[in-house]
Amino acid sequence: MYDLFFRHVILRMSTERAHHVAVAAFRYFWPFVAVARWLRIMPPAPASASVETLGLRFASPLGIPAGLDKDAVAVKGLFLAGFSHVEVGTLTPKPQPGNEQPRAWRELDVRGLRNRMGFNNEGADAAARRLAKLRASGVGKKAVVAVNIGKNKVTSAEDAPLDYAYCARVLAPYADFLVVNVSSPNTPGLRDLQSVESLRPILEHARAGADEGSADRRVPLLVKIAPDLADEDVDAVADLALEVGLDGIVAANTTIGHDRGPGGLSGPPLLPRALEIVSRLRARVGADMCLIGVGGITTAEDARRMLDAGATLVQGYTALVYKGPFWPSSINRRLG
């Protein structure tokens, strides 16, 4: 049924319009998702699928990465649909509109998506208020929420650590863990911050900001890297993560290694490189650090391959677009 809906309804919308409709559906119709969960139409993950990491219990390995729920408006619906954790953002200190439209495209031949959104969001303060309200609700207390943070487009590379510190300080009180995003291809100069020399002060400032914002508990801090990093740069990030006491690494963001037009590509073409990076990271950082594998996961077998490569958790977004809202619960059943 979803395939018919996708072909005859979703494909008649622009990619960005369909994105907004999906977010609105998870935002406003979460009570119906809760009923579907209660009726076992969208059953919760089996107990055998649970994972413990970052001092948290995840109902299954599968979460949703940043990019769908940019402003933390749809956490309840996404969590109840079967995602064990919902990563919101990317959030920046000040609101920003993102890049000019069009800025999102479907790549139907590879079941992928391409975007150059540019961190469009309502800002960290607005998200903090929304997350505070979420945490006061029954579902919000149970949901595992990650918050992805970035810098504003107008912020210079030299001042970037201050942006990350601000976001971490404001959002840490409501986050189960924070993800430092230095790997989006759609903010000019952002990926240059993945170099160890630039990344070190960003991680240090983000850690200090999180500790200041949440003095009563230590909020885990992770960094998200690009699939286009050379192997030696992946190794350097891994070594830095160990040196500064980072809690984990997310691998990987969208790729610019394609000839389909502007923006980063997500979906199945990313899977081989994401598997390589996760395997390389695991060999470098050892058994204890949390690694979140993301990029091209469509089937339960894809998720198992990522877990076998060394991932602690996995994330998927593009497959949700092509497979529909029952996709996460179906993956969970097969991973149990």
Find out whether 210 and 177 touch, Cβ atoms under 8 Å.
no
pLDDT on residue 53: 98
pLDDT band at 308 (very low <50, low <70, confident <90, very high): very high
As a whole number, mean pLDDT of residues 129-144 equals: 97
184 is catalytic: yes
pLDDT digits over 254-290, tens only? 999 999 999 999 999 999 999 999 999 999 999 999 9
Q: DSSP assignment, residue 255?
A: B
Backbone φ/ψ region at 82: left (φ over 0), alpha (ψ -120 to 50), beta: left
Q: All domains of the chain, ordered by start, with CATH? A: 2-335 (3.20.20.70)
Summarised one tens digit per residue, pLDDT across range 186-202 is 676 667 777 878 899 99
**Annotated active-site residue in 60, 184, 214, 279:** 184
* Residues 145-172: tens digit of each pLDDT: 999 999 999 999 899 999 999 999 999 9
| pLDDT recorded at residue 188 | 67
Closest CA to 111 of 264, 303, 251, 318: 318
Place of tokens 């993560």: 241
Q: Give the torsion through C-alpha atoms of 331, 324, 86, 44, to 10 deg.
A: -50
Rounded-to-integer distance, Cα 119 and Cα 187, Å: 7
- Taking CA atoms, 73 is separated from 23, 33, 76, 87, in Å, by 8, 15, 8, 11
Q: What pLDDT score does 198 carry? A: 85
Mean pLDDT, rounded, for 14-26: 96
pLDDT for the residue 9? 95
Beta strand segments in 137-238, E: 145-149, 177-181, 221-225
What is the reported pLDDT for 196?
A: 78
Give, in degrees to the nearest 5, the angle at Cα 28 between 23 and 31.
120
pLDDT band at 76 (very low <50, low <70, confident <90, very high): very high
Token code pair at residue 154 = 């107008």
**48 neighbors 57 (Cβ within 8 angstroms):** no
Tokens of 152: 């504003």
pLDDT > 70? residue 16: yes
- Examine the pLDDT at 56 and tell me if it is beyond 80: yes
What are 100-112's pLDDT values in tens digits? Answer: 999 999 999 999 9
Confidence (pLDDT) at 186: 62
